[in-house]
């Protein structure tokens, strides 16, 4: 199974990808998580990426494509992969097509999370993330049992720097300009399934399973 989860910031891609990748036994490959890990460990890639991420802009395509090429070449990605937050530009989608072709693999489906903008802003500004396992919580919609502590692993919860309202607005504009054109790209290939991203986390998970026939 090779899938892309596509949608605006805050649509719930990471929340669903983390759980469904575990359920399906395939790796969740999140370029956002990979970049944040590089920022935390202060690698050269992390310092370059941070400048873009703090503003809510996209990291250059060549950097991201290099990361993904390396990740898809790892043994655990052979049986399948759930791509979360990649591709995000037409150039990245074309690079993914080439990479998969080189590996003798194909993309099975692209799941698009359709969520209204006002809801995205509410979700992002209230989000808290575990420093250790990256699980996302929400102060109102999915609060942790204990304030500031991850239910899954006991790690510390924090607010992402790019979740301030000002940066969120820029991320949404960047999405509309650079990522939304992928909807037509994948629709044209008959790969796109749209899932309404409003409702409880469990209801949306069911809609994704239904859309994929799993």
Instruction: Provide, rounded to whole angstroms, the least separation between the CB of residue 4 and ligand AP5.
Output: 10
Beta bridge partners of 128: 137
Q: Which is nearer to ligand AP5, 24 or 52 (CB)?
A: 52
**φ/ψ (deg, to 5) at 194:** -100, 130
Whole-number Å distance between alpha carbons of 128 and 157: 6
Q: Which stretch binds ligand AP5 (CB under 6 A): 74-82, 99-107, 119-127, 148-156?
A: 119-127
Residues 183-212 that bind ligand AP5 (CB under 6 A): 199-201, 204
Q: Which stretch binds ligand AP5 (CB under 6 A): 3-11, 39-47, 71-79, 182-190?
A: 3-11
Q: Which is nearer to ligand AP5, 86 or 109 (CB)?
A: 86
Instruction: Provide, rounded to whole angstroms, the least separation between the CB of residue 59 and ligand AP5.
Output: 4
8 A C-beta contact, residue 7 and residue 207: no
| Closest to 186 in 3D by CA, of 70, 83, 116 | 83
| Closest to 84 in 3D by CA, of 195, 160, 3, 205 | 3
Q: Which stretch binds ligand AP5 (CB under 6 A): 96-104, 136-144, 148-156, 182-190?
A: 136-144
- Contact between 142 and ligand AP5 per CB under 6 A: yes
Burial class (CB in 10 A: 0-12, 13-18, 19+), 28: buried
| Closest to 80 in 3D by CA, of 3, 15, 18 | 3
Q: Which is nearer to ligand AP5, 41 or 104 (CB)?
A: 41
Whole-number Å distance between alpha carbons of 207 and 12: 13
Q: Which is nearer to ligand AP5, 14 or 109 (CB)?
A: 14
- Contact between 137 and ligand AP5 per CB under 6 A: yes
**φ/ψ (deg, to 5) at 140:** -105, -45
Give contact residues for ligand AP5 (rule: CB under 6 A). Answer: 7, 9-15, 31-32, 35, 52-53, 56-59, 64, 85-86, 88, 92, 123-124, 127, 136-138, 141-142, 162, 171, 199-201, 204
Enumerate the active-site residues.
Answer: 13, 88, 127, 160, 171
């Amino acid at each position: 199974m090779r899938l892309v989860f596509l949608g605006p910031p805050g649509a719930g891609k990471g929340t669903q990808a983390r759980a469904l990748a575990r359920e399906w036994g395939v790796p969740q490959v999140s370029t956002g998580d990979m970049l944040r890990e590089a920022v935390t460990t202060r690698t050269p890639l992390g310092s370059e990426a941070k400048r873009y991420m703090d503003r809510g802009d996209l990291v250059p395509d060549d950097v991201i494509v290099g990361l993904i090429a390396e990740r898809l070449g790892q043994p655990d990605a052979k049986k399948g992969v759930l791509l979360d937050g990649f591709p995000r530009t037409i150039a990245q989608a074309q690079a993914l097509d080439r990479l998969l072709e080189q590996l003798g693999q194909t993309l099975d489906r692209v799941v698009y999370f359709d969520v209204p903008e006002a809801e995205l802003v509410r979700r992002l500004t209230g989000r808290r993330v575990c420093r250790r396992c990256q699980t996302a919580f929400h102060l109102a919609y999915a609060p942790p049992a204990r304030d500031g502590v991850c239910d899954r692993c006991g790690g510390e919860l924090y607010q992402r720097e790019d979740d301030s309202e000002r940066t969120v607005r820029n991320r949404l504009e960047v999405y509309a300009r650079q990522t939304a054109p992928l909807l037509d790209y994948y629709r044209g290939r008959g790969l796109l399934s749209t899932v309404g991203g409003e409702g409880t986390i469990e209801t949306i998970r069911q809609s994704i399973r239904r859309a994929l026939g799993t």
